[in-house]
Chain A
Amino acid sequence: MSQIFHTSTNVLSRLSIYGGVFIVALLGAALYGIELSPWYTDVHVSREQPVPFSHKHHAGELGIDCRYCHTSVEKSAFAGVPPTQTCMTCHSQIWTNSAMLEPVRSSYRTDKSISWTRVNALPDFVYFDHSIHVSKGIGCTTCHGQIAEMPLTYREGTLYMSWCLDCHRQPEKYVRPKSQVFNPNYEVPSNQMELGRQLVKDYKIQSLQNCSTCHR
C-alpha cells in the first residue's frame, strides 16, 4: 500500500500544530490593531462638511473664544452647534460675496439650518455632560485636540469607553486650572501629575466610575 501523504506533511503538520498558538495570538493582535486603527475609529480623519469651516482660521488665527459659537458648554450637556446667525454676525460684513460662504448666506435667507456633519458623537446609550467637565477643569483641547490648528475639523479621541475611563480613573493626568479651560494653546506642564493631584483635591473632582454615571 503506497503512502497517502508526501513526506513534507511531517513538516507541515508540526508547523501548523506548534505554530497554532502563535497563529491565534497573531490573529488576536491583528484584531486589536484594527480596533485601534484610524480606519476603524476615524481618528484624525476630517469629515466632509457643507461649508469647509476652518477652526484654525477662526479659533487660531482670529483668536475667537470657543464659547462664542459653542454657547451652552458651561451650562448644558450639549456644547451647542452655532446657528447661522452666529456666522452672519461677521459674515454679513466680511467676505459677503465669497462663493465658499454661499451655503451660509442661503441658509440665512431661507431660514433652513446648515446640516453640519457631526464629528464628535457618542452613541445613544451614553450620557455625557459638557458643563460638569468644563467647570471642573477639563479643557476643550484635552478631549478635542489641537482644534486651533485644524484647517478641517477631525476627531482627536477614539471616544471608546476606555478613552473616557483613562481620565475618569486618573483625572490628575488631564485636569488643568479652571482659568485655562478655554485656552486653545494650553501646553501640558512638566509637573502635570503633581499639579493635577492638587487640582483634583481643590476642585473636589470625584472621578466617577459607576456604570450608571454615564449609562442612565
Chain B
Amino acid sequence: MDPEGSQNINEARQAPVLEPGHTLSSVTEKISSIVLGRGTTKGWMFGFAIAFALLMLLNVAVTYLLVKGVGIWGIRIPIAWGFAIVNFVWWIGIGHAGTLISAILLLLHQKWRTSINRFAEAMTIFAVACAGMFPLLHMGRPWLFFYLMPYPNAMWLWPQFRSPLVWDVFAVSTYATVSLLFWFVGMVPDLATLRDRAKNRAARIIYGVLAMGWRGSAVHWSRYETASMLLAGLATPLVVSVHTVVSFDFSVAIVPGWHSTIFPPYFVAGAIYSGFAMVITLAIPIRKFYHLEDLVTMRHLDNMAKVMLATGVIVAYGYMMETFIAFYSGNQYDRYMIMNRMTGPYAFFYWLLIACNIVIPQVLWSRKVRNNVPILFVVALVVNVGMWLERFVIVVVSLHRDYIPSAWGTYMPTRWDWATYVGTIGLFLTLFYLFIRFLPMISIVEMRSLVEETNEEGQAK
C-alpha cells in the first residue's frame, strides 16, 4: 500500500538513473579520475589531433575570407544567404538542448538530467561559440561587427532596432552569457573537488582559482542552490526566446516560405530536436570510451530518445502545416514555393529532409530500438543531418525562387563554404575534447545526491 513501493514497481521496469552499488566516494573518484588520474591517453590524442586539424582548416578558411571577402562563398543574388546562415541556425539550435536539460529539467525536478547536464551545457556553450562566428563572418566588413551594438559612437547612430538581425545580437549574446554563467556556477563545487584531489601544483592553482575559494560550507551550499535555481529561471525563457528571435530573421521577411507565423514554435521544437540528437551523438561515445555506462544509463538514453521523438513529431506537424497553409492560402507565390520545394532543382534535398527528420526517427516509437545503442546513435546522426538539411531548404530553396522569375538563380556552395562549416565542427570538437580532458564532464555533486536514493531503491528491489 505504500506509495514508495508502487513507485518502485514502475521504476523497476525502467533502468535506474544511477547504477546501485555506488558510494559517495566511488562516484567522486570515478568522475574526477577521468581528469586527474588518466593522464592524456592515446585515444584522446588521436581524436584531438583530428579535431585540431579541422580547427586549422577553419583558420585558413576564415583568414582567406577576411582577406578576399564573401565572394569566395557561393552566395549571389538572389541567394544572398547561404551556408553561413544555415550553419548559424544549425549550431544555435543544437545549443538549446543543453539549456533545456540544465535549466528546464532542473525546475521540473527531473532527476535523469543529472549525469548529462554538465556535458550538455558544455555542448551548448561550444555550439553557441561556433554559431556566433557566422553572423560576424558573413558581414562584408566583419571587423566592424561592433556597429551592431548600441554604444555612444561618433556617428550618433543607433543600430536598426526594428531588425531581427539586431535582436539576434542581443538574443545570442544573452544566451552565451547566461549559459556560460550557469555552467560555471554549477561547476564550482566540482572544481573544488578537483582542486582538493589534484596532485601537481599547477593543477591545484588553476582549479583553485576557478573554484573561487569554495569550502563546501553550509552557507556555500545554500547559496549554490539559490544561484542554480535563479540561473535556471533565467535560462528557461531563453530556450524559447533565442530560437524564436532567430526564426524572426526569416519570418519578418516577405519571402514566400519564410513569412509564416508557425516559424517561432517550429524553430524552437526543431532546435530541441537537433540539440537532443547532438547530445545523444556525444553521450554514446563518451559513455563507451570512458566506461560511464553506470552513470549515463539506459534510462538517460531512453528519455533523450523520447524527447527527440516528441520534438520530431512537432517538427513533422510544422512541415505539414507549411504545406497545408501554402495551398489553403490560395497565394500563388506560396503555392509555387511548396511545389518548387517538392519538385524543383533542390527536390532531392527536400525529400532527403523528410526521410531524415520524419520517416527514419519513427523507429524510436519502439522501446527495443530506443534501447539499442548503435541504432540510436545512427538515428541521432540522421537527425543531425536532417536538421541541417531543414535549414538548407528553408534558406536556400526559399531564396532561390521568389516573386519575379527573372530574379531566380541557383546556389552552389564552394569549397570555402564547406571548409568553414567543417572547420566549425573542428572548433566544436576541439573545445569538447579539451573540456573532457580538463573539466569534470559529469556533475559530481549531482551524482552524489543520487547515491543514497538509488542504493535504497536497489535494496528495495
Question: Please, could you name 6 A-B residue pairs with CB atoms under 8 Å apart, sorted by A?
Answer: A5-B205, A10-B213, A36-B154, A161-B157, A162-B155, A165-B155
Beta-carbon nearest neighbor of B157 in chain A: A161
Check if B213 sits within 8 Å of A160, measured CB to CB: no
Beta-carbon nearest neighbor of A4 in chain B: B208
Known pairs A10-B213, A161-B157; A4 contacts B195 (CB<8 A): yes
In the assembly, what is the distance between CA of A86 and CA of B156, in Å?
40
Beta-carbon nearest neighbor of A166 in chain B: B156
Known pairs A4-B204, A4-B205, A13-B212; A32 contacts B152 (CB<8 A): yes
Beta-carbon nearest neighbor of B156 in chain A: A162
Option from B152, B153, B157, B208 in Cβ contact (under 8 Å) with A5: B208
List CB contacts (< 8 Å) of B189-206 with chain A. 195-196, 204-205
In the assembly, what is the distance between CA of A4 and CA of B153, in Å?
45
In the assembly, what is the distance between CA of A10 and CA of B212, in Å?
9
Check if A161 sits within 8 Å of B154, measured CB to CB: yes
Beta-carbon nearest neighbor of B207 in chain A: A4
Check if A162 sits within 8 Å of B208, measured CB to CB: no
Nearest CB of chain B from residue A202's CB, rounded to whole Å: 27
Task: Answer yes or no: A1 CB below 8 A from chain B CBs.
Answer: yes
Count of chain B residues with Cβ under 8 Å from any Cβ of A? 14
Contacts of A4 in B (CB 8 A): 195, 204-205, 208
Check if A161 sits within 8 Å of B196, measured CB to CB: no
**Interface of A (DSSP majority class):** helix
Check if B154 sits within 8 Å of A160, measured CB to CB: yes
Known pairs A5-B205, A5-B208. 9 more at Cβ < 8 A? Answer: A4-B195, A4-B205, A9-B213, A10-B213, A13-B212, A35-B154, A161-B156, A162-B156, A166-B156
In the assembly, what is the distance between CA of A5 and CA of B204, in Å?
10
Task: Answer yes or no: A84 CB below 8 A from chain B CBs.
Answer: no
Option from B151, B204, B213 in Cβ contact (under 8 Å) with A13: B213
In the assembly, what is the distance between CA of A1 and CA of B204, in Å?
11
Contacts of A153 in B (CB 8 A): none
List CB contacts (< 8 Å) of B201-224 with chain A. 204-205, 208, 212-213
**Interface of B (DSSP majority class):** loop
In the assembly, what is the distance between CA of A171 and CA of B294, in Å?
75
Check if A160 sits within 8 Å of B205, measured CB to CB: no
Encoded as 1 (CB less than 8 Å from any B CB) or 0, chain A from 3 to 15 comes to 0110001100100
Beta-carbon nearest neighbor of B198 in chain A: A4
In the assembly, what is the distance between CA of A1 and CA of B208, in Å?
13
Beta-carbon nearest neighbor of B195 in chain A: A4
Q: What 5 A-B pairs are tightest by C-beta distance, nearest first?
A: A161-B155, A162-B156, A160-B154, A4-B208, A165-B156
Encoded as 1 (CB less than 8 Å from any B CB) or 0, chain A from 142 to 170 comes to 00000000000000001011100110000
Beta-carbon nearest neighbor of B196 in chain A: A1
Contacts of A28 in B (CB 8 A): 151
Contacts of A35 in B (CB 8 A): 154
In the assembly, what is the distance between CA of A166 and CA of B204, in Å?
57
Contacts of A1 in B (CB 8 A): 196
List CB contacts (< 8 Å) of A22-72 with chain B. 28, 32, 35-36
In the assembly, what is the distance between CA of A160 and CA of B204, in Å?
52
Contacts of A32 in B (CB 8 A): 152
Contacts of A162 in B (CB 8 A): 153-156
Nearest CB of chain B from residue A143's CB, rounded to whole Å: 17
Contacts of B156 in A (CB 8 A): 161-162, 165-166
List CB contacts (< 8 Å) of B303-318 with chain A. none
List CB contacts (< 8 Å) of B260-292 with chain A. none
In the assembly, what is the distance between CA of A28 and CA of B208, in Å?
31
Contacts of B151 in A (CB 8 A): 28
Beta-carbon nearest neighbor of B152 in chain A: A32
Contacts of A165 in B (CB 8 A): 155-156
Beta-carbon nearest neighbor of A163 in chain B: B154
Contacts of A36 in B (CB 8 A): 154
Option from B154, B196, B212 in Cβ contact (under 8 Å) with A158: B154
Beta-carbon nearest neighbor of B205 in chain A: A4
Nearest CB of chain B from residue A3's CB, rounded to whole Å: 9
In the assembly, what is the distance between CA of A12 and CA of B196, in Å?
22
In the assembly, what is the distance between CA of A161 and CA of B196, in Å?
57
